[in-house]
Structure 1
């Protein structure tokens, strides 16, 4: 069974709006529904769990009914941090998911998850036990001089870097055991840590899957405007 965990537990303060960014309406549809539709419409996803900011659970159920998100089976309260929210979602599947079930973790505010990307994540994860969406880095990366932060004398070759985001997929047995280990040992759970960084800190080798530049995260108002532009974009058939 392939289960999607959609993380929608954040308050979205950087967006500067009156409601959490995952519930902002774009062309008469909330952002969270655009995200859920990507999993609802994918033939390999069997069911969905949403980790929701506390107090908004009934709103998600209502939207799911309105927009026919029939794969939504569970809603779990979020935590104080991103890692706590993911942990809550993982622990809630104990007794429901089998060790070999594939769990796909995705940010609720990445509403343009591509079917081909999701398919490749599942393909790679089924082969190796895990997979992380990745893209090459196309900009030059320089390291700040610790003696003078306005200068640099060292760079990192961009060919050695990959940008990693969600969706990510892991066998439930691995995912559940590593979240217990991480919170027991207090490793990989602080700051901007996510499942992928936690896994590496706990000694797990990750496998790259395909990514997409369209898979933007709605963090700022500029990101929101870009998302709206993508929705209105007409594709040229002649482009390969």
Structure 2
């Protein structure tokens, strides 16, 4: 099976201010998105990379790819308004392919390890759908619309989601085909789409890592620099 990584950078969010989305902020002298691309470019079991980026920033990604000779990057495609639009862009780009896996990864998770990628691909090669997650040490409250606690789920059954999320192509394509027929369809991640629209499809957990953080706020940049220093 051909393993294709989809780097999801379609958002234009600027929660930390500035003129560029957070995936272009500098971390360890490189744009955050470059770290994420490198992780899969350098992994021997990744065959190809597709980058989904807001249309206004395609040129910036093209420059990063060219300057760093990222030979595995075969597509740089515009994303849409919603998170699901980015996944659909990749699904449509590979609709003529056969026997492929799609590995979806957030561009702003720059510290995904080679071990995590290898473990994800191992499960994919067994025909499984996969999510990366870690255990939660905090108690989680479920609340209602009035912010009142309605339940306290048992922590042993809870996981904190990370990426990659990965699927055989036919699985994720089928899930979205069904989802798009639902007038109330809203998606925040691909596992949620598969879980809702292909309920008999099992999704297995691959253990993530505390350092596989998502850079969202200014404090995450500080933590990211600390992680880089520890790795070096």
Root-mean-square deviation (Å): 1.9
Deviation of residue 152 (structure 1)? Answer: 4.1
Between the aligned partners of 1:161 and 1:8, the Cα distance in structure 2 is: 27
Cα pair 1:4 1:105 within 8 Å, conserved: yes
In the TM superposition, residue 129 of structure 1 has moved relative to its aligned partner by 2.6
Q: Write out per-residue CA displacement over residues 61-101 of structure 1, whole angstroms, 9 at most, x where no aligned residue.
A: 11111122111000110100111111112111111x31x31
Structure 1 gaps of 5+ residues are 236-240
What is the alpha-carbon distance in structure 2 between the residues aligned to residue 13 and residue 186 of structure 1? Answer: 30
Please show how residues 53-92 of structure 1 align to structure 2 within 5 Å: 53-92=54-93
How far apart, in 1, do the equivalents of 2:150 and 2:91 lie? Answer: 43
Structure 1 residues 136 and 55, CA gap change in structure 2 (3 angstroms): same
Aligned CA distance change for structure 1 residues 143 and 58 (closer, same or farther; 3 Å): closer
Aligned with residue 199 of structure 1, among 167, 188, 194: 194
- The Cα of 1:187 is off from its aligned counterpart by 5.7
Instruction: Please give the alpha-carbon distance, in whole angstroms, between the structure 1 residues aligned to 2:111 and 2:47.
Output: 19
Query: What is the distance in 2 between the residues matched to 1:221 and 1:187?
Result: 34
Match of 1:177 in 2: 174
Question: What secondary structure, in the 3-state scheme, does the structure 2 residue paired with 1:16 have?
Answer: coil
Say whether the 8 Å CA contact 2:65–2:73 is kept in structure 1. Answer: yes
Equivalent pair of 2:14/2:20 in contact (CA under 8 Å) = no
- Other structure's SS at 2:176 match: helix
Give CA deviations for 1:114-142 in whole Å, capped at 9, x if unaligned.
Answer: 10011111111222431110111111123
Tell me, yes or no, if the aligned pair for 1:183 and 1:189 is still in contact at 8 Å: no
CA distance in 1, matches of 2:146, 2:163: 35
1:12-23 matches, cutoff 5 A: 12-23=13-24
TM-score by length of 2: 0.92
Please name the residue that 2:6 is paired with: 5
Unaligned runs of 5+ in 2: none
Residue 126 of structure 1: aligned partner: 125
* 1:152-208 per-position Cα deviation (integer Å, ceiling 9, x unaligned): 474211001112221011111111222222112246534xx2101111111132111
> 1:39-54 alignment to 2 at 5 Å?
39-54=40-55
Which residue is 2:156 aligned to? 159
